[in-house]
């Protein structure tokens, strides 16, 4: 699962955690648990729209014995969707230099804009990695862009469960089944792009596309 915004470790500790999460024997691999865009926003301390102005490789700490490196991206923040209580404006974001530790490669000095989600560390720096939701802004659907302002935040009490195989059933009334992988064999398919798991007054949750409920075959996948 994505890191909780309630935890704000230092760079050194976070790099060690990423190293521990790396699968044994896969030195050059980065492995992340799947998460719906709504989950990413709910579990992140920060969500912003930004352009990347420049990049620089910097030490991960002031300890001379620490050989870890970070990439420091200087950004131009366009809009902040989440993180107001922690930061007013973000100038730099940091990511591991080592790709096996889930470092993120972004295009600097271009017109490309990104949606960036990440953590705010104990020293106030913003940290991102490949297990966060990081997408070119142009790739986001209209619903996703609108949901960054309201729907995702307001429905963080809902649980989203990835459905890989059938049978796949809801185990709690506040749960939505995420079926993109099952039906499309890709992670961020039509459901991730066009649906929000929304909470009702009675505490139950269900998928909605705008004001229309998700088709029944997405919700009740019981039999092959």
Contact criterion met (CB below 8 Å) for 38 and 150: no
Contact 28, 70 (CB under 8 A): no
Residue ranges of the annotated binding site are: 30
- Separation between Cα atoms, residue 9 and residue 15, nearest integer Å: 10
Buried b (16+ CB within 10 A) or exposed e, 30-47: beeebbbbbbbbbbbbbb
Q: Give me 217's structure tokens.
A: 């075959």
Q: Determine the Cα–Cα distance for residues 118 and 125; give it in Å rounded to an integer.
A: 10
DSSP 118: E
Choose among 68, 126, 117: nearest CA to 97.
Answer: 68
Annotated binding site for Zn(2+): 30
Determine how many CB atoms are found less than 10 A away from the CB of residue 179: 24
Q: Under a CB-based contact definition with an 8 Å cutoff, are residues 224 and 171 in contact?
A: no
Alpha helix ranges (H) inside the chain: 11-21, 37-43, 142-147, 151-154, 180-184, 190-194, 216-219
């Amino acid at each position: 699962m994505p890191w909780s915004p309630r935890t704000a470790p230092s760079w050194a500790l976070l790099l060690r955690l990423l190293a521990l999460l790396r699968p044994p024997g896969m030195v050059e691999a980065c492995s992340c648990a799947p998460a719906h865009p709504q989950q990413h926003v709910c579990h992140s301390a920060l969500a912003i729209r930004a352009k990347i102005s420049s990049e620089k490789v910097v030490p991960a700490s002031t300890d001379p014995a620490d050989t870890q490196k970070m990439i420091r991206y200087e950004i131009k923040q366009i809009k902040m969707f989440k993180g107001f209580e922690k930061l007013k404006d973000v100038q730099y974001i940091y990511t591991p230099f080592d790709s096996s530790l889930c470092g993120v490669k972004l295009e600097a000095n271009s017109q490309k804009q990104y949606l960036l989600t990440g953590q705010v560390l104990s020293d106030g720096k913003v940290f991102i990695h490949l297990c966060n939701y990081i997408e070119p802004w142009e790739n986001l659907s209209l619903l996703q862009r609108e949901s960054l302002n309201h729907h995702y935040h307001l429905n963080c009490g809902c649980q989203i469960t990835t459905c890989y195989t059938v049978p796949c059933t809801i185990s709690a009334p506040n749960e939505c089944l995420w079926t993109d992988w099952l039906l499309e064999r890709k992670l961020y398919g039509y459901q991730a792009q066009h649906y929000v798991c929304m909470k009702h007054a009675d505490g139950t949750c269900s998928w909605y596309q705008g004001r229309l409920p998700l088709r029944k075959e997405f919700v009740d996948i019981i039999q092959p």
